[in-house]
A and B are shown apart, each in its own frame.
Chain A
Amino acid sequence: MLRRRRATQRGEANPPSPSGCGGRLPSPASLLLGVSLWIRRRRRSWDPAAWHSQRGSREVAKPALNTQTDWRFVIRTREGFSDPDARKLKEDIADLGIQGVEKVSIVQVYYVGGVLTSQELQQIGEKLLVDSIVQEYEVEAVHPEPPVRPSTGSGRTGESKDFIHSQVVEVAYHPGVRDPVEDSLKKGALDLGIAGLRQVHTAKEYAFAGSLPAEQLTRICDRLLVNATVQQIVTPENLERLLNPPAGSPLSIETVHLMQASDTVLQRVSIDHQLSLNLEEMRAIQAYFRTQKREPTLIELETLAQTWSEHCKHKTLRGPIQYTEEIDGKIQKRTIQNLLKSTIMRATEELNRHGCLSVFEDNSGVIEFDEEFAVCFKVETHNHPSALEPFGGASTGVGGVIRDILGTGLGAKPIASTDVFCFAPPDFPAEKVPPGVLHPRRVIKGVVAGVKDYGNKMGIPTVNGAVLFDDRFVGNPLVYCGNVGLIPKDKVTKQVSPGMQIVLAGGRTGRDGVHGATFSSLALTTESEVVSATAVQIGDPITEKKLADALLLARDQGLFSAVTDCGAGGLSSAVGEMAADSGAKVFLERVPLKYTGLTPAEIWISESQERMVLAVAPADLDRLLNLFREHGVEATAVGEFTDSGWLELFHAGISVGKLEMDFLHGGVPQILRPARWSPPGLKEPEIPVPSDLADCLLKSLSRWETCSKEWIIRQYDHEVQGGSSLKPLVGVANQGPSDAAVVRPRLDSPRGVVLSNGINFRYGDIDPYWMALLAVEEALRQIVAVGGSLESVAILDNFCWGDPTRPEVLGSLVRAAQGCYDAAKAFGVPFISGKDSLHNEYRVGEKVIPIPGTLLISAIGIVADAARLVSMDAKKAGSRLYLVGSTKPELGGSSYYASLGFLGASVPQVDLAQSPLLMSAVSRAIGQGLAVSAHDCSEGGLAVAAAEMAFAGGLGLTLELEKVPRPTTLTREDFILFSESPTRFLLEVPEEKSADFERALAGFPLGKIGQFQKEPVFRVIGLGGQSVIDVAVEVLQEAWQAPFKGW
């Protein structure tokens, strides 16, 4: 038996770490050696006759009886059955350049504590934990300090001989990081009639056979097995803490002395309590409490910090800005009162378009779908958590944006997801990865796995996305998670009235995610993974799925009148926002907790996932609570809305916080921030004319951002719910890159929702104004390319920028926002929601790696009849290929320049007068059935788009560059092929429809540039009439598919 120890120090309740250095991976070799030694000793310490329980001999012995004991189950794959995870790990080890590992095995470990009989242990092993066809198990009691026997004897029983001299590492989560499997195992035990199971912890044991020096094993642990933010290598010491976590501190109401504090003290208070409040804000708080004639409690400071955080308040985009622009020596200055209102929201207001049912008010933007229903759309970012723990960060990002949809109106049903990422390239040199940062390969795999896990388990098709790469994302990747919901039109509005109960539903509250909102408003540093261990969580999609199912049933029964999600800032933000116009009383001791020992402040600001807050009329409360209970969802009335204008917090009958709503929401001081933009003074590079254009094309197709993302797409269930009507992969072999995705949310209707996105930070390196226009234009272009029209389209903005206190960073953001306004007005598409994530940079000592300012535009539209859409794959030999739109020498920021190591200056420009008209004409032509396939020209220009059409359709193509509509000055073949001029479409038109098609596009730049053929060759005839590219289509496709092959 392990000794039970209770600590009372608050500090001890934090996730402990093996070597006492706060969550970081302990120093290497000695510890690892210790671990493997310890585990083997432990093995030998028990007497097989009495202790071991192999299949066949099922006597599990002694310590069971009436006291709680911890047991260790190990589950391994039977000989003769493959273990794909072990195989992949072995490949990953080889990828690290580590030789000598002959065999890898992975064993699943469960620590099970409780009062259990030997029979019950046997049942748990046989009926619950193993799949008897492919797995076997062992169980043993956990011993704290195993006696060491003379070191003769063989390896462990039942294992292959290869492993006798193997090295063993066991990895578990830190205490407090909850693995959802733990609850499932308890539920499964109850189904077997076993009631004595108290606690479960999961771990994985990795064994490596072969010669593996200690420092290589450390590298494997560091790079592949352990993420120190959430995981640890199991040692005797931390195992005891895992199985018997020390209790937290008893209730204390901490008062913070501010009234007499100097500026230095104010700043220190902000730092010490991770408030992320600046001096002006601390002063405003000090002034407020001076008027109240008392000191604030910590919980009050936390509440203000959450509410005033950049994450919740968007104080930069909504605050005053002094903007200076200097172009060609001309200086213009102006003061912007509220950037969002004066650009993005203003465009929406001025467009005043029919069908926008809720904009910038709710958790997502809502537009009309059909007579009965509306659709809502939201895209969020989860960058910082994903940098530290890619799987957990991305999965909770998906979970969070789904709750935005569930928390829109009276709750919408999630119907589709979109996910866009920016990473450092997978081949980023390992030695250049800054300390404290995970290698991009691991970030990519983790993020994709996280999105997959949450989205697939929620049963929401992930149908659209994009992935971009740049070295600057190495310490701070971008993870945008978007979700679309379907909601009855009469459920779009919500209302909170005094007297209504505040109901918290869903997952339990733990210490996880404490300070997530304030954390996301800080830059990442090498220390982030130490200070922010609690800011990262593991998602629990099944809890959210249950919550979603029950919530929508309760909605349809009219059992609540308002709902919102518990996201950043937790209850503090959710209740604070819902009660902004009224008031609220919350009784924190009623909040169901994952474990004891949370302080009232922690309960109040915890960002534990999978929780929603509802406003419920007292008369409906019992029915609502019953309905949730029946669906296995915990729901609790934790307070009530009042008309006091005050937020009042209690714990066990004691008032722990009291703040005026007016101050909470209106008290944040406005800070005039300087912003400056001037052109970066870039030059066009001098590039020699390439001798081999085929080679240029192959290289373009193999670029990380252009190449096939099939590895990612297929891991997402993009067809669940049955509505997928235009899939992300199309063509003769289901492998071509579709433009926009279309889902039909009502299976009995041909009506569809079309989704797309536009993003390219390289244009922003030249001019953020054009980046914004191009992002909007790209998103719309993709919708048009599948046959959608712009009339019903609405868009979202997502700004990911660096530190806005730097004038040049804020200046570029201002310029991008202006581009957003101009684009929305010109195309007539309103913004309906948006989000900004600032402070995206990574600090190593004094050196700062800021991300490039990156704007994502996500577009949603309605198509009346999905059966009239077209896909991008070429359909038929003999049909003509038309290029609509002018190709200009605009290669600044292009993929072609980037592949040669240049940025350039000639950023593509959108013709705001012609572009909308051209899009309408193309959309109409497709609607009339004049084109059988269509594809837009984006990264890699005409050459890449045409090649994609050809290989997706399994056809050859002959192109004539002379026919490409362009200014006469453009005479370089490489520029014609790879220019990224916007608003260009490639359309495949059957010969017999050519005349009608040309009439439909009359007045626009139009060229009949080629013809598809059976002969599977991609041929380009140069300006001189000679063939400049002649490559087998298959070769092009292989180049395009190569980069992620074998991942």
Chain B
Amino acid sequence: MNNNKPKILTANEASMIVESSVIKRRKKDARLKTYGRIAIGLAVSFLIFLFVSIFSKGIPGFFQYYVTLDVYLDRDRLDPKGDLSPESLYNGDARSIVLESLYKVINPKGRKEKKAAKKIISTNADVRISKMVLDDPNILGKTIPITFAVDDDIDSFLRGYIKRETPSSERRINDTVIKFVDKLSAENKISYKFSDYILTGSASRSPEIAGIKGAFIGSLLTLAVCFIIAFPLGVATAVYLEEFAPKNRITEIIEVNINNLAAVPSVVFGILGLAIFIGVFGMPRSIPLLGGMVLALMTLPTIIISSRAAIRAVPPSIKDAAYGIGASKLQTIFHHVLPLAMPGMLTGTIIGMAQALGETAPLLMIGMVAFIVDIPGGVTDPGTVLPVQIFMWADFAERMFIQKTSSAIIVLLVFLIFMNAAAVILRKKLERRW
């Protein structure tokens, strides 16, 4: 108790204290920086892990094994009616023609060996011949080399997923089949090349001929419908709420509800779609039009919220100037506010659509989580979407579907990257600074 007076520091002492605390503060700064780096490092490494695992599995999925055979295209057997119609070709016997040319190379003896040989070529070989004949009827009666996809089990064997060392009883393919495959490779009939089914084929239960075209077109159609409905509605709502709506209880309630809707689980919109669009309006199930309408309901809140933010970001001075020279409210909005808010609104819309592109849950209720072979020709043909295709492929037992699943994921990712890139470019192009 002898010295109650605050100590008077000399300038030197003060700077010492400050200096020592500076070191501490800098250390804290450095620590924060390291935490940030660790967080980013972790995020990046997860991303890299994801990409490496998807690409290492998915890239091989874009390729597959083929066998090339010299096929004699017998007119009478391929086209029994002789009118080259799809019906006549369907009734023709392309399958046995393919098998005959296969037998010529591998010479199976007896019924059992022939049965084994049948397993080598994809069951879809006859469709390929029918298509070639439809494209060019002049090939009938000639002998030409045609490449066919090999069956999925043979493909897995050639990739080394089914091992030769495994006892025959535990393999999907028996020793006779392996003998034939070896013979075909010895004669250089087997090739490994870019799959002509994965991008242009439709859904199929034979993995070697399954492709994503149907789902891709279904996704495009669904998104188109979603955009046509959600964008105008969303923008109109945003304009009304920002420019016209009186600030009262009712608009407040509407606002709160729109914000809440953005957080509603997507499957709820599917149930809504089932009850209203199918139940009340009697729309057919499984069509992209219906899917687009349900997804539009889902993306509306996102579009409204981002559009309102974009409209609010337009400087009031511009509006005031427009009013100042005698523009009407409509003129002000359409000539000045909307063009300036457009980049922000489009960005929000594209992000909302990208979200819709990845959805399966709302589509489950309205019958779009389905196996659909025919490629949709319009919004009222049954169709499915990319994520559903991925989901279904992931569940099929055939092993080749594992690679196909990853390939489809790559296509979906590229689609998403394109959409997001479009959002960035649009924003950069249209953006104006003040």
Do A and B come together as binding partners?
Answer: no
